[in-house]
Amino acid sequence: MKKLTLTLALALAFIFSAFCADPAYENAMKKQITAMKSIRSLEESQAVTNAFLRIAEAKPEEWLPLYYAAYLQTTAIFRFDVDKDQYLDQAMALVEKAEKIALDNSEVTAIKGYVVMGKISLDPASRGQSMSPQAMQLFGKAISLDRENPRALMLMAQMEHGMAQFFGQGPEKACGLAKNAIALYAKEDAKISDGYLLPTWGKPQAEEVASLCK
Amino acid sequence: MKVRLILLTCFLVSQTSVFAQTILSGKIMDEKNQPLPGVNVFIKGSVDGTSSDAAGNYQFETTKTGTQTLVWSMMGFKSQEKTIILEAGAREIPALTLREEFNELNTVTISAGAMETSDEKKSVILRPLDIVTTPSANGDIIGAFQTLPGTSTVGNDGRLFVRGGDASEVGIYIDGLKVANSYGTTAANVPTRNRFNPNLFKGTFFSTGGYSAEYGQALSSALAMNTKDVAARSQGDVSILSVGAGYSHTLADDKRSISLSGNVLDLAPYQTLVQQTFDWVRAPHSWDLELAAQSKLKKGGMLKVLARTESGGMELWQAEPGVVGNGVLVNLKNNYSYAQTNWRKAYENGWTVFSGVSYSHNQDEVRYDSVDIDRRNDLSHLKFSAVKDISDRISAKSGVEFFIHSYSEKLTRENLSRTFDENESYVFTEWDWYLSRKLVLRGGIRVGNSKLADKTWADPRASLAYQVSKNGTLSLAGGRFHQLPVDNFRVLNPALQNSQANHLILNYLYQTEGITLRAETFYKSYDELVVFEGNLQSPRDLQNAGSGFAKGFDVFFRDRQSLKNTDYWITYSFVDSQRSYNHYQTRVQPGFAPRHNLSVVVKHFVTSLKSQIGASFSINDGYPYTDPNQAGEMNSKTRPYQNLSLSWSYLPKPNLIIHGAVTNVLGSENIFGYNYALNPDEAGHYDSLSIQQSAPRFIVIGVFLTLSKDKNANMLNNL
């Protein structure tokens, strides 16, 4: 009888631990997502990236901490004085790790395209021609995986804008995409609650592209 | 109530330890004993940890107890782990050094003899796009390489000549597999092109000497071209040229892509409009079909297939010196096929494995006056190689290769034929050893065996590179190279042995953002070159008795930065080459090796015109030739060769390109040598005819349209 109770208790404990979200993970993520929003220096960026990487180490089944680490590595090249190619290569390595955990995930696919776009931005004349189709394909795939993902649309709008500039065309197509993205951001805003861990970034960038047509 | 119970249970289950706290602190340094900020320090399997600060210090609290693993990690550095037993209280960890991992970006690259084309890598000389936008190249890969150091332009031949070596001394590979007859078959003094479209390749590796043990059977140079990976999208590409037309269709999804393309080329309409020097009966014409497929396999493998078949021909009168009339009628038909497949996979344990097989088939039917010749060449190449990264400092590449080769020549009317069959096998191994990030040594050996020559030989190769300053690298390369004589010599004397060359190269490369300066000096010795009695058309008594050398230097300067929207490069190559070979009894300067070679390429993008305008200019000091009216061999030299080519690419829409190019705009009357009559006239004088260009200029106009759902796709590649 005792044995049965113990087995039952253990089984229950196991079921519960699998069933309920891990509060330690959630709290750690929440803390870093908040910290991420107030990054001002490369050191702060590095510290938050490292924190996400620690969470990724502790929770190897979660793609989100890797995603945020890759996001921070990528945005660092636009904000701080770093070895840009090296940062993007590292970001790509993190994205590839996240891809293995979350196959065909719209956010992961979109950020992969974002890393490729960062690569192009470093040498558009020689990289653009071979890498632009790759970035466009990734954004297209991210959109088809989740039609409600505003970041996929926003990034595609940025890419379209860059290409239109290169070819001396108007920004209309990019604006259209950006406006659709803004509508999706509004939808997303409605979902965001206190414990919301999923990506929410990118709205100002969409507004920037949309503001080109007035 | 229920919710509370669940939450309580969750809470109890997830609390696995008591609230004893340890404060851990320490310091991290790099190899130069400088504090290392940004290192991630944490307890393995937990989120407890921190990052080191600007002074390399760290401190954090943990509630973990007992035996735990402390990890120090930072991207680009080797992680360190340490087992510690945690007890409540403060604990100072002794200072620790993290070592930077060696990778392609932070270590020196061996650049002696090597010129790389790539979109991604750093130490590249050209970008793939440069190949198609070099005006003098007319979309031919080889034409673009003729603007690089160490090469010379031989305008009546069109093939690649490297540092005093003839065109057969350049080995051409696609994805590491040999391509036989990679140039179109042509008549004497009618320049040829490489058969393969630059559009197929994502990068190339061109070596002008001292190259890897992975390649052999090339005395002077290896040109390795790597095909593209899976295409990003489905599209159709239409090209309409003043000399032909083509269509290519690509189907792609995430994992696979396949392209089928077909082209027809006919110079006849063009030649009726533009006056030709040559006396054409039937202008050069050809068609080709090509299939390229790529597939990503599970877990990082890649499978590629490339197949091409083409057929072409031409007919022309070739004037003979000292003979009145049209001369000799030459008719040529060529059938060519090439197929290859290769598989590559990188494993997590540091192994990268490659295996591939290629097959080249070439058939020429030549009618020279009243002689009909049928020439066939078949070459199969099997290759298996593996790279093992033993650590971030040592990596080894090894492989085995087999070649099955058969060649035949037949006089059709007389029903006489001669053939040879050959089996060659090779093993190679090459080791890279990084002594520091600034110093790398490479040593390799290639062992070969030829069944026909009944011979086994070994070629040692070695090189090193040292980073002398932030942007400057000095490298040194040397080695021994063997090559069996060309097919039409071997079929006459199957006992012919390898010719041999030794290379020694010193290179300095300076690269900053947008600027490249490359200077190289070399010495190359030749031994056992083939010499014979008679002339090139009917050689007798062939033997490995020739020798020679080539020495010189070249300088390459490229600037993509100083002038807005402008990219230019300047190349100067000096080569002093002397060899006894073919019918030359004494050591002479070969006709294909001008001493001074200069080329300049400029490309400028005019945004307001949506156009790229390009110009390339080449000049050399002339080609030596033998004038039988004077004593000695190679006793004369032609006037300097020069060529100014211009191109204009107009991109009115992203998916449409209109391209025009003119070679030899100034119409300089270039002469590549002289043909002399075999016998003197009554006055004892040998009559001569100059070897000229087929026309003073060549003009090409093309329209390239890409059809795709993505309207920004374009065919910049196909220019």
The mean pLDDT of B341-368, rounded to a whole number, is 95
Q: Give dist(CA A21, CA A42) in Å, integer.
A: 32
Res B481 pLDDT > 90: yes
Could you say which of A47, A90, A126 has the minimum Cβ distance to residue B119?
A126
Q: Give dist(CA B364, CA B356) in Å, integer.
A: 27
Q: In what order do the strands lie in the sheet with B177-178?
A: B124-126, B114-117, B201-207, B221-227, B170-174, B177-178
Site from A8, A14, A16 to mutate, B interface, most B CB atoms within 10 angstroms: A16
User: Given this model, what pLDDT does residue B28 score?
Assistant: 94
Q: Do B47 and A167 touch (CB under 8 A)?
A: no
Write out pLDDT tens, residues B401-440.
999 999 999 999 999 999 999 999 999 999 999 998 899 9
Q: Give dist(CA B619, CA B670) in Å, integer.
A: 10
Residue B16 touches chain A, beta carbons under 8 Å:
no
Could you say which of B10, B105, B567 has the minimum Cβ distance to residue A85?
B105
H/E stretch holding B501: strand B499-512
- How confident is residue B203, by pLDDT bands cut at 50, 70 and 90? confident
What are the residues whose beta carbons fall under 8 Å from the beta carbon of B203, sequence distance 6 or more?
Answer: B116, B117, B118, B119, B121, B128, B225, B226
CATH class of the domain at B17-97? mainly beta
For A88, the closest chain B residue by CA position comes to B75
For residue A7, the SS3 value is helix
Query: Which chain A residues touch B568 with a CB distance below 8 Å?
Result: none
Rounded to the nearest 5°, which phi and psi values hold at B297? -100, 175
Query: Which chain A residues touch B53 with a CB distance below 8 Å?
Result: 43
Q: CA of A134 to nearest chain B CA: how many angstroms apart?
A: 5
For A73, the closest chain B residue by CA position comes to B75
Residue type, A113: G
User: Given this model, what pLDDT does residue B130 score?
Assistant: 81
Residue B560 touches chain A, beta carbons under 8 Å:
yes
User: Given this model, what pLDDT does residue B710 score?
Assistant: 60
DSSP for A171-188 reads: SHHHHHHHHHHHHHHHHH
Read off the tokens for B63: 């509630």
Q: CA of A174 to nearest chain B CA: how many angstroms apart?
A: 12
**What is each CA distance from B191 to B183, B194, B662, in whole angstroms?**
10, 10, 16
The angle that helices A84-101 and A64-79 make with each other, rounded to 10 degrees, is: 160
Res B648 pLDDT > 80: yes
Q: Give dist(CA B252, CA B569) in Å, integer.
A: 36
| More confident call, B1 vs B577 | B577
H/E stretch holding B384: strand B371-389
Q: Give dist(CA B178, CA B170) in Å, integer.
A: 11
Closest CA to B667 of B646, B686, B653: B646
Read off the tokens for B687: 């009559």
> Could you tell me the residue ranges of all domains in chain B?
17-97, 230-296, 347-454
| More confident call, A2 vs B278 | B278
Closest CA to B637 of B662, B613, B671: B671
Rounded to the nearest 5°, which phi and psi values hold at A75? -70, -25
User: Given this model, what pLDDT does residue B5 score?
Assistant: 54
Read off the tokens for B550: 């080539």
B200 in Cβ contact with A104 (< 8 Å): no
- A window 179-208, beta carbon within 8 A of B: none
Residue A41 touches chain B, beta carbons under 8 Å:
no
Res B497 pLDDT > 60: yes
User: Given this model, what pLDDT does residue B560 score?
Assistant: 87
A-B Cβ pairs (cutoff 8 Å, strict): 107
Res B577 pLDDT > 70: yes
B305 in Cβ contact with B177 (< 8 Å): no
Whole-number percent of chain B with pLDDT over 70: 95
User: Given this model, what pLDDT does residue B16 score?
Assistant: 47
User: Given this model, what pLDDT does residue B4 score?
Assistant: 57
Ranges of chain A whose pLDDT falls below 70: 1-21, 214
- B window 52-111, beta carbon within 8 A of A: 53-54, 71, 73, 75-76, 105-106
Q: Do A168 and B232 touch (CB under 8 A)?
A: no
Q: Do A13 and B13 touch (CB under 8 A)?
A: yes
B622 in Cβ contact with B594 (< 8 Å): yes
Res B73 pLDDT > 60: yes
User: Given this model, what pLDDT does residue A16 score?
Assistant: 47
Residues B562, B566, B567, B573, Cα dihedral to 10°: -80
CATH class of the domain at B230-296? mainly beta
- Name the average pLDDT for chain B: 91
Write out pLDDT tens, residues B337-346.
999 999 999 9
B155 in Cβ contact with B191 (< 8 Å): yes
Residue B6 touches chain A, beta carbons under 8 Å:
yes
- A window 85-124, beta carbon within 8 A of B: 85-86, 89-90, 93
Q: Give dist(CA A60, CA B45) in Å, integer.
A: 9
Query: Which chain A residues touch B73 with a CB distance below 8 Å?
Result: 53
- How confident is residue B63, by pLDDT bands cut at 50, 70 and 90? confident
Residues B411, B412, B415, B419, Cα dihedral to 10°: 50
Alpha-helix residue ranges (DSSP H) falling in B20-151: 128-133, 141-145
The angle that helices A64-79 and A23-36 make with each other, rounded to 10 degrees, is: 10
The mean pLDDT of B80-86, rounded to a whole number, is 91
The mean pLDDT of B146-155, rounded to a whole number, is 93
Q: Give dist(CA B315, CA B713) in Å, integer.
A: 40
Q: Do A136 and B49 touch (CB under 8 A)?
A: no
For residue A57, the SS3 value is helix
Res B50 pLDDT > 60: yes
Q: Give dist(CA B550, CA B568) in Å, integer.
A: 29
Given the DSSP bridges, would you call strands B177-178 and B170-174 parallel, antiparallel or unpaired? Answer: antiparallel
Q: Give dist(CA B453, CA B482) in Å, integer.
A: 13
Q: Give dist(CA A157, CA B537) in Å, integer.
A: 64
Residue type, B2: K
For residue B173, the SS3 value is strand
First to last CA, chain A: 77
